[in-house]
């Protein structure tokens, strides 16, 4: 198996996996979504809420506010499988505001300087004149398999690597390039060929192939296409995007560690049975 990094930023990583199989790549995707620990607000105590927003909606918004959850932030905090997780209060947050104003995520005051909202400008509730909001909240470590608020990824997906071929025994169909909605193809009549500009941007929608089939059918050659869209069976383009709570590379590495732990359990079980 070969891995090639295509791009990496603070909240996104794109890489290519070659010579792998769908179940393996999909296992990494699932682990990254549901088995990576993340911090989110779990318990909300609403002391006073004069706003027009229901208490349940307010608590829901607080729970979905991304909190810094990198390895340094969650170190030492109990995870759901630890004994005493339910009894543990978690990281305390307070929110005490008086209107008129829009209450933003930056107004959440944390008891731990390392654990705070990722973004300061997430609107939580709007208060009118003299309306008061007094809330105590507690954040805990959890997993995406239990609730979406603990899911670190906003995008975690893969697609098989596209493959584009041409039928050289047919006349060049320059117009099929214009049917591509993503600008992957370009007609070059000077060199008498169709250029592939960015094959990794191809979604394999086959718009170009259908357009070529329709033109061929109009010319008396049904079910024939100058261009063929397919994919490499064991090559994949993988993309992970996070909500900013942790770097995407950290999500990927933690997901791989979780898969390794599960494999070790199977090995230990097999050895005991023998």
Which residue from 206, 170, 174, 172 is spatially nearest to 187, judged by alpha carbons?
Answer: 174
Asked whether 127 and 97 are in contact (CB, 8 A), the reply is yes
Among 154, 158, 172, smallest CA distance to 203 is for: 158
202 annotated ligand-binding residue: yes
DSSP code at position 35: S
CA-derived radius of gyration, the chain = 26
Centroid of chain to Cα 13: 10
Do the Cβ atoms of 15 and 6 come closer than 8 Å? yes
Determine whether the annotation assigns residue 156 to a binding site. no
d(CA 218, CA 130): 72
Question: Which is nearest to 66 in space by CA: 106, 101, 8?
Answer: 106
Give how far Cα 87 sits from Cα of 80, 136, 147, Å: 11, 17, 19
258 bridge partner residues: none
**Which parts are annotated binding residues?**
202, 205, 208
**Which parts are annotated binding residues for [3Fe-4S] cluster?**
202, 205, 208
């Amino acid at each position: 198996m070969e891995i090639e990094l295509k791009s990496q930023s603070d909240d996104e990583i794109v890489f290519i996996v070659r010579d792998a199989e769908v179940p393996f790549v999909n296992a990494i995707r699932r682990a990254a979504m549901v088995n990576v620990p993340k911090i989110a607000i779990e318990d909300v105590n609403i002391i006073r809420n004069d706003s027009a927003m229901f208490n349940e909606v307010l608590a829901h918004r607080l729970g979905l506010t991304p909190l810094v959850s990198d390895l340094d932030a969650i170190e030492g905090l109990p995870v759901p499988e630890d004994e005493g997780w339910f009894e543990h209060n978690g990281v305390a947050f307070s929110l005490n505001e008086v209107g008129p104003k829009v209450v933003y995520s930056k107004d959440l005051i944390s008891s731990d300087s390392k654990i705070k909202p990722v973004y300061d400008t997430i609107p939580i509730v709007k208060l009118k004149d003299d309306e008061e909001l007094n809330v105590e909240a507690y954040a805990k470590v959890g997993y995406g398999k239990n609730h979406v608020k603990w899911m670190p990824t906003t995008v975690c997906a893969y697609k098989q690597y596209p493959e584009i071929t041409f039928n050289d025994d047919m006349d060049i169909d320059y117009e099929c390039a214009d049917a591509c909605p993503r600008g992957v193809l370009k007609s070059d009549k000077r060199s008498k060929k169709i250029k592939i500009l960015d094959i990794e941007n191809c979604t394999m929608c086959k718009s170009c192939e259908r357009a070529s089939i329709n033109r061929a059918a109009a010319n008396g050659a049904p079910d024939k296409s100058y261009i063929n869209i397919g994919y490499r069976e064991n090559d994949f383009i993988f993309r992970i995007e996070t909500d900013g709570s942790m770097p995407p590379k950290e999500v990927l590495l933690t997901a791989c560690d979780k898969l390794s732990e599960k494999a070790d359990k199977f090995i230990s079980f097999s050895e005991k049975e023998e």
